[in-house]
Amino acid sequence: MTVVTVAATQMACGWDVDENISHADALVREAAGQGAQIILLQELFERCYFCQEQQYDYLSFATPLEENPALRHFRKVAKELNVVLPISFYERANNVFYNSIAIVDADGSVLGIYRKTHIPDGPGYSEKFYFTPGDTGFKVWDTAYGRIGVGICWDQWFPETARAMALMGAELLFFPTAIGSEPQDPTLDSRPHWLNTQCGHAAANVMPVIACNRVGTEQQGNSKITFYGSSFIADETGTRVKEMNQSDTGVITHSFDLAELRTKRQAWGVFRDRRPDLYAPLLTKDGAPS
């Protein structure tokens, strides 16, 4: 049996951690009720997207893996429902803070964590204030339902993220995120750009991409972001087979046959024909090998 059903969820978040967890719990159960086996929740869904402002107090939101409330809750849910749940959380590791995700397998065990590699920064998205760039490197996870790769938000803009996980044997790529309007420029709508980039990863790696994003408007001080949802599931050609709109709460699910995908991927030949001997520029920042 190589057919796997995946789900992406979409919801608005507030400041009450328990309420957000309860809301996410309802969506996970809804998705599981539709047969989903791997269910993606949003980035940092325990709270409002606190990175809108630079507030030293918010550093206290970070916890060690073991103490994170969402993770404690969803380990039990994963076991109960027999589903895989990547859980995004704000991690404190001694004196360092990461934007991390714990991969909870269908028996409730934690397979490990991945720490967000690429950290954005700009008006309304002050992530370099809150997160040290991840040190884990890209990872893939042998879950109960297949080998998955998970990137976090800004990671989704980098072909390197998807390609590395594909090379490491991922069969499905997941990207939880929090993205919306740009406080400094109301005319800037990154939504098509965001969709085209990620559907490109699916197409180039001949591999489904599942992305989920929050909805709702969040105001913090003078900054306001309307998150544009648009959570989607793209197939191995980069075509979106399921997608949500920019405001609804809910879940989308889709089934993929991993064996069939593998056959298509090997038939297409792109992994056969790669030329790492000529890829040295990719390991530079400015294209000029030192």
Clarify whether 80 is annotated catalytic: no
Q: Which residues of 195-208 are buried (b: 16+ CB within 10 A; e: fewer)?
A: beebbebbbebbbb
Q: Does 275 bind a copy of itself (CB under 8 A)?
A: yes
Is the Cβ of residue 15 or residue 271 nearer to a copy of itself in the bound state? 271
Clarify whether 43 is annotated catalytic: yes
Contact of 8 with 43, CB cutoff 8 Å = no
Does the CA dihedral 259-261-264-269 come out positive or negative? negative
Q: Does 112 bind a copy of itself (CB under 8 A)?
A: no
Nearest in space to 21 (alpha carbons), one of 79, 96, 76: 76
The tokens describing 99, both together, are: 């934007």
According to CB under 8 A, which residues from 192 to 221 bind a copy of itself? 192-193, 196-204
Binding mask 114-143 for a copy of itself (x = CB under 8 A): ---xxxxxx----------xx--xx-----
Q: How far is the CB of 72 from a copy of itself (least distance, A)?
A: 29
Q: How far is the CB of 157 from a copy of itself (least distance, A)?
A: 5
* Other Cβ atoms within 10 Å of 124 Cβ, number: 18
Nearest in space to 70 (alpha carbons), one of 33, 39, 105, 45: 45
Beta-carbon contacts of residue 79 (< 8 Å; ≥ 6 apart):
106, 107, 108
Clarify whether 51 is annotated catalytic: no
Is the Cβ of residue 13 or residue 178 nearer to a copy of itself in the bound state? 178
> CA-to-CA distance for 210 and 212, rounded, in angstroms?
7
Binding mask 220-259 for a copy of itself (x = CB under 8 A): -----------------xxx--------------------
Q: Does 274 bind a copy of itself (CB under 8 A)?
A: yes
Cα–Cα distances in Å, from 203 out to 196, 208, 239, 272? 10, 8, 8, 16
> CA-to-CA distance for 95 and 93, rounded, in angstroms?
6
Is the Cβ of residue 35 or residue 133 nearer to a copy of itself in the bound state? 133
- List beta partners, residue 174: 150, 210
Binding mask 157-176 for a copy of itself (x = CB under 8 A): xxxx-xxx-xxxx-------
Contact of 252 with 244, CB cutoff 8 Å = yes
Site for a copy of itself (CB under 8 A): which residue of 94, 187, 221, 287? Answer: 287
Q: Could you say which of 46, 51, 116, 199 is catalytic?
A: 116
Nearest in space to 178 (alpha carbons), one of 47, 31, 56: 47
> CA-to-CA distance for 68 and 70, rounded, in angstroms?
6
Q: Could you say which of 43, 46, 171, 218 is catalytic?
A: 43
# chain residues binding a copy of itself, by CB under 8 A: 55
Q: Does 266 bind a copy of itself (CB under 8 A)?
A: no
Q: Could you say which of 13, 48, 51, 153 is catalytic?
A: 153
Q: How far is the CB of 25 from a copy of itself (least distance, A)?
A: 33
Is the Cβ of residue 60 or residue 237 nearer to a copy of itself in the bound state? 237
By the criterion CB under 8 A, which residues form the site for a copy of itself?
117-122, 133-134, 137-138, 154, 157-160, 162-164, 166-169, 192-193, 196-204, 237-239, 267, 269-271, 273-276, 278-288
Question: What are the residue numbers of the active site?
Answer: 43, 116, 153
